Structure 1
Amino acid sequence: MKHTRLTALAAISLAATLSLTACGGDDSGTDSSAKGSDTSASQGGGAKAEGGPHAKDGSQAGGSQAGDTQAGDGKDTKAGAADGTAKTGAKVTFCKTADLAIDAADAAPDETTGRINITMINRGSTTCSATGFAGVDIKDADHTSNPIERGRAQPRVTTLKPGDAAVFNLAYDIDTSGKSLASPTNIEVTPPNETHSVTLDWPAGAGDIKGAYTDVQVYPTHTTK
């Protein structure tokens, strides 16, 4: 009986010990969890505390930089617009026929190459543009008018200040046979981008045209400077 009681007491004691150990483990786990939670919260709070101002500063800095960039771009754009307006306001217009003194002269470089130089001087009070091809018709002694085709050449910017001159030329082959069928008397010139024409005399001494008027070509204007 005594041995049985001791065994029973030992069993009860072991159960109590296990119970206390389990309770201690729960407490330890709870404390650890709470501690871990506190640590996480603390670290999280620290991250927020540090990240908040940095993020804010970064955002403000970014905003400021973006604002500066935008402001800079805005100023540049505004300045560009102002320049554009100024340029538009001072935009060069095409030369008017009435403001041009126009003359034709023989400029053949040799006996086989025909060239007529036509000079246009800006007699106006403002700068103008004579860029491009002039319209040219050659009038014949039989009272016909023959339009002249454009030569293969790219127009060059030809801006004329008051008093400046632009030149374009007519090119053709000279007929040395004495049997040319062309008898030019006048050159009708319409400056580039104009509708009003002037009639000039065919230059005295210019070589006879070989072939037909369709063999004559007009080239774009250029400045004499």
Structure 2
Amino acid sequence: MKYTRVTALAALAVAAAFSLTACDGDDPAADPSAQGPAASSPSSAASPSSPDGSAGTEGGSGSGGAEQGSGEGSGSGAGAAAGTGGKVAFCRTKDLAIDAVDAAPGKDSGRIDITMVNRGSTACSATGFAGVDIKDADNTSNPVPRGHAQPRVTVLKPGDAAVFDLAYDIDNSGGSLAHPTNLLVTPPNETHTVTLPWPEGAGDVKGAYTDVEVYPTHTV
């Protein structure tokens, strides 16, 4: 009987000890998993948004560069506008008095000056190359090619004159095959042509009519 009591007491003691051990295991301080959130806090502070933020700042600089680009673009537009100036209509053939004269600088170089006077009531532009054909005695006509020169802005007020010239080499051999009789002149940016006599005293053309060159208009 006494032995049974001792055994029961021993069993109670073991149960009590087990209970205490279980309670100790529930202590959060002793459980490493309880420290998980606290340990993960520093890593969540180092967020990947920081590199994105830097990229955003660089994007801001890029936008500033684009603004600079547009500024340069508007500058070019302003330059183009300044170069254009006010709009002036092209001179019409019917408003021009046109004449051709021999202006050879020497016995070997031929030059014909063709003058256009604005007889209209408003200013007009004669800028560019006139179209010129040379008509021969055999009733054929040949276009004159352009010389290597840049046109100048040529605006004519009423009464103003512009001039352009034909240049060629003079044939002094007496055996020229060219026998020009007329000049067919179309002012720059026009379609109506006037017929002028080949200037008196102009030297014979050396070679073919394709060797003659026409140069742009300029003011007198």
Per-residue deviation at 1:11? Answer: 0.8
What residue is the counterpart of 2:20 in the other structure?
17
Among candidates 198, 205, 211, match of residue 202 of structure 1:
198
The percentage of aligned residue pairs carrying the same residue is 49
1:136 to 90, 108, 132: 132
Q: Deviations over 1:163-188 (max 9, x none)?
A: 44332221221121233343433322
Offset, 1:108: 1.5
CA spacing shift, 1:134–1:145, aligned 2, 3 Å:
farther
* Match of residue 167, structure 1, among 141, 157, 163: 163
TM-score, structure 2 normalization: 0.63
List per-residue Cα deviations over 1:177-216 (Å, max 9, x = no partner): 233343433322111222222222322222122234x244
Equivalenced residues, count: 188
Counting only pairs closer than 5 Å after superposition, residues 1-225 of structure 1 correspond to structure 2 as: 1=3, 4-25=7-28, 91-140=87-136, 142=137, 144-162=139-157, 163-212=159-208, 214-224=209-219
Partner letter of residue 7 of structure 1? A
Deviation at 1:31, TM superposition (A): 8.8
**Measured at CA, do residues 131 and 139 of structure 1 come closer, stay the same or move farther in structure 2, by a change above 3 Å?**
same
**More helix, by proportion:** 1
Report deviation, 1:125.
3.3
The one-character-per-residue Cα deviations of 1:91-126 (angstroms, maximum 9, x if unpaired) are: 333221012221212221221111111122333333
Q: What 5-or-longer segments of structure 2 have no aligned partner?
A: 46-59
Structure 1 residues 3, 164: closer, same or farther in 2, change over 3 A? farther
- Contact kept, 8 Å, 2:129 with 2:151, in 1: the verdict is no
CA contact (8 A) 1:122 1:165 kept: yes
Distance 2:97 2:153 in 1: 16
Shift >4 Å, 4+ stretches: 28-33
Structure 1: give runs of 5+ residues left out of the alignment. Answer: 45-61
- Checking the alignment, whether the CA contact within 8 Å between 2:156 and 2:162 is kept in structure 1 is no
Per-residue deviation at 1:219?
1.9
Paired residues of 1:170 and 1:216 also in contact (CA < 8 A): no
Cα-to-partner distance string for 1:49-73 (whole Å, 9 max, x where unaligned): xxxxxxxxxxxxx9xx9xxx9xxx9
The alpha-carbon deviation at position 6 of structure 1 amounts to 4.8
